[in-house]
């Protein structure tokens, strides 16, 4: 097997295990909202975003009109604009059409691992495939299975696997530490995100926290920063 492909697969494998119960949980919620296993599969394979799918189940319950629902889901997914903007620096060598196709599988998890690897070496198409695509069948299979099993599963939070995502992000975050300036970005982002989560509905907190961190980086920027490198 291609070395980069294998490395990507190795990097994402813990998340494949951690995501099975989360997918199952979503499937049971979807079943509760009247989705059939096929519909649950279709949504998880096509939308392929945990955040968007969980929020959409809340919205479907309120009986929101389709257009408004889609717009709300777009705001939930806005963070992907920043993620794909950031990733564009690392995948410049991949042909545009191929990169555009690969970006369909740009989940939070795959993105975080790509950024982590990009700190040390360039990102090949093979690594992107290895790190991003395997989570897809895991996700939609377990979502469909959850919808099929319905509500017989009970609370899965006691296994702590819901924390795997946060733990992985903390692990990746540690690699971005570059001193005091990073600390200011993190404090700004954490403060704004936490306040926004508390006071605003939906998932605005992610994009607002991200923008706060970017603004601090712009304010703290000095010409010498990039000359030094």
Of 43-102, which residues contact other proteins (CB under 8 A)?
Answer: 43, 46-49, 52, 56, 60, 66-67, 69-71, 73-74, 77-89, 91-92, 96, 99-100
Task: Please enumerate, as own/partner, the contacts of 101-104 that have beta carbons within 8 Å and a separation of 24 or more.
Answer: 102/128, 102/129, 102/132, 104/48
Q: Binding to other proteins by residue 218, rule CB under 8 A?
A: yes
Please report the DSSP string for 163-224 in residue order. GHHHHHHHHHHHTT--SHHHHHHHHHHHHHHHHHHHHSSTTHHHHHHHHHHHHHHHHT--TH
Q: For residue 70, what are its two tokens?
A: 């889609």
Q: Binding to other proteins by residue 214, rule CB under 8 A?
A: yes
Least spacing, CB of residue 53 vs other proteins, in Å: 8
Least spacing, CB of residue 164 vs other proteins, in Å: 5
Q: Binding to other proteins by residue 112, rule CB under 8 A?
A: yes
Burial degree of 60 (CB within 10 A; 0-12, 13-18, 19+): middle
Residue (11 or 142) nearer to other proteins, CB: 11
Q: Which of 104, 122, 151, 201 binds other proteins (CB under 8 A)?
A: 104
Q: Binding to other proteins by residue 115, rule CB under 8 A?
A: yes
Within 159-198, the residues that bind other proteins by CB under 8 A are 159-161, 163-164, 166-177, 182, 185-186, 188-190, 192-194, 197-198
Q: Which of 23, 24, 25, 216 binds other proteins (CB under 8 A)?
A: 216
Please answer whether residues 211 and 218 qualify as being in contact, where contact means their C-beta atoms are separated by less than 8 angstroms. Answer: no
What is the spatial distance between Cα 224 and Cα 192, in angstroms, rounded to a whole number? 28
Q: Binding to other proteins by residue 224, rule CB under 8 A?
A: no
Q: For residue 101, what are its two tokens?
A: 């196709």
Residue (28 or 72) nearer to other proteins, CB: 72
Q: Binding to other proteins by residue 106, rule CB under 8 A?
A: yes
Within 117-156, the residues that bind other proteins by CB under 8 A are none
Residues near 109 by beta carbon (within 8 Å), at least 6 away in sequence: 12, 15, 19, 135, 165, 168
């Amino acid at each position: 097997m291609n070395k980069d492909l294998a490395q990507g697969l190795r990097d994402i494998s813990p998340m494949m295990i951690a995501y099975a119960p989360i997918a199952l949980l979503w499937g049971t919620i979807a079943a509760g909202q009247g989705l059939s296993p096929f519909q649950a599969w279709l949504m998880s394979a096509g939308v392929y975003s945990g955040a968007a799918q969980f929020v959409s189940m809340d919205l479907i319950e309120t009986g929101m009109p389709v257009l408004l629902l889609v717009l709300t889901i777009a705001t939930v997914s806005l963070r992907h604009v920043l993620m794909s903007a950031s990733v564009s620096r690392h995948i410049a060598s991949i042909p545009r059409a191929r990169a555009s196709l690969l970006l369909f599988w740009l989940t939070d998890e795959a993105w975080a691992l790509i950024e982590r690897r990009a700190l040390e070496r360039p990102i090949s198409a093979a690594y992107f495939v290895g790190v991003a695509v395997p989570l897809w069948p895991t996700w939609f299979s377990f979502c469909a299975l959850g919808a099929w099993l319905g509500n017989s599963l009970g609370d899965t939070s006691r296994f702590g696997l819901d924390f795997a995502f946060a733990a992985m992000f903390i692990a990746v975050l540690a690699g971005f530490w570059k001193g005091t300036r990073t600390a200011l970005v993190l404090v700004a982002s954490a403060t704004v995100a936490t306040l926004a989560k508390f006071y605003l509905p939906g998932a605005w907190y992610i994009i607002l926290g991200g923008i706060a961190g970017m603004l601090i980086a712009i304010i703290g920027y000095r010409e010498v920063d990039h000359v030094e490198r």
